[in-house]
């Protein structure tokens, strides 16, 4: 738990540092816009990609925290079971029995049955597959991340992290400007994992990808569905949708 807390704290520090970097860079970039508009767009995309990667790290840490909590609950249940069995072994109608002594006709007091072994954490190999694919994405190995997320989804289509994996698969394409496959991945993420934590992100990024491909009418239609399908989405996502609508001239 202590190691996890350190990792989470480090990730949050990096996230805050990135936000500070944005605040420091934007004034300079605003001046550069007059000289080179392309620079501002490229710099913004780089910062956005950095935040996306940090978001993935935080998601992983949050999921690991959930797994650790489940393991602690299993350990506590196992401890309580052992304690209960020990108490039953000492108890009974005849009162306490001396350790190693005879009971009644000289029969040895029955030892309490051993507790069942603690069940292994479910989905360990699946979690490792997801972790490895995410590590490749964070390291800039987008092709490797693509293969990893595809393998994860093929083997674990109903896993808790399947919606996340589908979204990051789309990001692996988007980072390489393979917008056709990115569009397909985000669309499948929205269709198959609509209620997952990454459902809103899949829909938002689907609209952004369509806009980049020049299909602004389709993008506007996607953006209009966002408030209908995700009325309780975070304000940050809603503001991003509004910005994209204005950017693409959606009515």
Range of lowest pLDDT (4-8, 171-175, 215-219): 4-8
Residue 83 pLDDT? 58
Mean pLDDT, the chain, integer: 75
pLDDT tens-place string over residues 13-55: 555 555 555 545 445 544 544 556 655 655 555 565 556 656 6
pTM above 0.75, yes or no: no
- Which residue, 141, 137, 169, 151, is CA-closest to 57? 137
Q: Establish if 74 belongs to a structural domain.
A: yes
Contact between residue 49 and residue 175 where contact means Cβ atoms under 8 Å apart: yes
Cα of first residue to Cα of last residue in the chain, in angstroms, is: 50
The total of structural domains in the chain comes to 1
Please say if the pLDDT value at position 195 is more than 90.
Answer: yes
* Structure-block tokens of residue 12: 């949050």
Please say if the pLDDT value at position 226 is more than 50.
Answer: yes
Q: Establish if 118 belongs to a structural domain.
A: no
Please say if the pLDDT value at position 143 is more than 60.
Answer: yes
Residue 120 pLDDT? 41
Q: Establish if 102 belongs to a structural domain.
A: no
pLDDT tens-place string over residues 53-103: 566 656 666 656 655 665 666 666 665 666 566 666 665 444 444 444 444
Burial 186-203 (b: 16+ CB within 10 A, else e): bbbbbeebeebebbbbbb
Q: Establish if 173 belongs to a structural domain.
A: no
Q: Establish if 55 belongs to a structural domain.
A: yes
- Region 141-154 average pLDDT: 96
- Quick one: pLDDT band at residue 105, thresholds 50, 70, 90? very low
Residue 194 pLDDT? 94
- Region 196-200 average pLDDT: 93
Please say if the pLDDT value at position 5 is more than 90.
Answer: no
Give 110 or 229, the one with higher predicted confidence.
Answer: 229
Q: Establish if 46 belongs to a structural domain.
A: yes
Give the structural domain span for 9.
1-89
Q: Establish if 23 belongs to a structural domain.
A: yes
Residue 251 pLDDT? 79
Q: Establish if 42 belongs to a structural domain.
A: yes
């Amino acid at each position: 738990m202590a190691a996890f807390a350190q990792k989470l704290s480090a990730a949050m520090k990096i996230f805050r540092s990135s936000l500070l970097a944005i605040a420091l860079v934007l004034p300079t970039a605003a001046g550069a816009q007059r000289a080179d508009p392309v620079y501002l767009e490229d710099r913004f995309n780089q910062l956005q990609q950095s935040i996306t990667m940090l978001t993935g790290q935080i998601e992983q840490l949050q999921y690991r925290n959930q797994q650790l909590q489940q393991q602690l609950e299993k350990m506590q249940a196992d401890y309580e079971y052992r304690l209960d069995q020990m108490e039953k072994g000492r108890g009974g109608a005849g009162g306490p029995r001396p350790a190693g002594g005879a009971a009644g006709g000289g029969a040895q007091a029955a030892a309490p049955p051993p507790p069942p072994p603690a069940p292994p954490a479910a989905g360990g190999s699946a979690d490792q597959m997801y972790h490895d694919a995410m590590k490749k994405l964070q390291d800039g190995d987008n092709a490797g991340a693509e293969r990893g997320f595809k393998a994860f989804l093929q083997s674990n289509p109903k896993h808790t992290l399947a919606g996340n994996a589908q979204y990051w698969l789309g990001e692996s394409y988007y980072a390489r400007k393979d917008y056709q496959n990115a569009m397909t991945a985000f669309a499948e993420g929205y269709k198959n994992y609509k209620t997952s934590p990454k459902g809103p992100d899949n829909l938002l990024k689907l609209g952004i990808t369509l806009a980049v491909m020049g299909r602004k009418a389709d993008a506007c239609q996607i953006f209009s569905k966002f408030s209908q399908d995700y009325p309780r989405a975070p304000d940050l996502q809603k503001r991003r949708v509004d910005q994209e609508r204005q950017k693409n001239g959606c009515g």
